[in-house]
Amino acid sequence: MSSITEQFSAATKSQLEAQFKIFNTFASTAVDSAQKVIALNISTAKQLLASKDPSVPHQGNFDSLLAYGRELYSIASTAQNALLQSAQGTFKQVTDLAATKPTVAAVPPALSAAVSAAVAAANEPVASVPLAPAKAPKAKPAAAPIPAQEEFVEVKVAAAKPIALAGTSKPAKSAPKAKK
């Protein structure tokens, strides 16, 4: 294997490991937070079921509602802080890794010379090539003239019989039946 292929495979492997680590951190934080919210909901439901009549408002229900809100806020802020710390740690790790590792290994001199020659050839102006004279577009043929006809065919149309419409005095006749 060449050194470039090894570098790409090592970079790909480290990138995949970093992505799995980030995904694992996010997933575990989300599951822990969901577990805490479910436990909070269950304990709150038990407290409401233990009260004699939950429909009658009194000071205890209001205090438990405020405590529920504070606990829910605490769970959400803890999850947010954990995710931010994880993202900052990963960002710091990636920037440190990028600063310490050289991105390009020593390039063989033959490859360097070939690339330099190709770049120089690509940057040279192109020699002028004589252009062929432009061809005029072909004209479209004119439409064929219509020959003058001296004889015209006369068509006779038989007089149409009137059909009675609905709401008139005569009903319309039914169509004749087909013979078998």
Q: Evaluate whether residue 27 is within a structural domain.
A: yes
CB distance 143 to 134 below 8 Å: no
- Give the residue with greater pLDDT, 124 vs 173: 124
Q: Evaluate whether residue 140 is within a structural domain.
A: no
3-class secondary-structure state, position 24: helix
CB distance 3 to 49 below 8 Å: no
3-class secondary-structure state, position 6: helix
Q: Report whether pLDDT(168) > 70.
A: no
Q: Which domain holds residue 67?
A: 10-50+58-75
Widest distance between CA atoms in the chain: 111
Give the whole-angstrom CA distance, residue 24 versus residue 30.
10
Q: Evaluate whether residue 18 is within a structural domain.
A: yes
Q: Evaluate whether residue 166 is within a structural domain.
A: no
Q: Evaluate whether residue 19 is within a structural domain.
A: yes
Using only the alpha carbons of the chain, give its radius of gyration: 44
- The predicted model scores a pTM of 0.47
Q: Evaluate whether residue 161 is within a structural domain.
A: no
Q: Evaluate whether residue 162 is within a structural domain.
A: no
- Give the residue with greater pLDDT, 130 vs 140: 140
Q: Evaluate whether residue 36 is within a structural domain.
A: yes
The total number of structural domains in the chain stands at 1
User: Tens of pLDDT along 23-66?
Assistant: 898 899 999 999 999 999 998 888 877 776 656 666 667 788 88
Give the whole-angstrom CA distance, residue 160 versus residue 156.
12
User: Tens of pLDDT along 36-45?
Assistant: 999 999 988 8
Of 1, 74, 89, 72, the residue nearest 38 (C-alpha): 72
Through-space distance between the first and last CA atoms of the chain, rounded to whole angstroms:
86
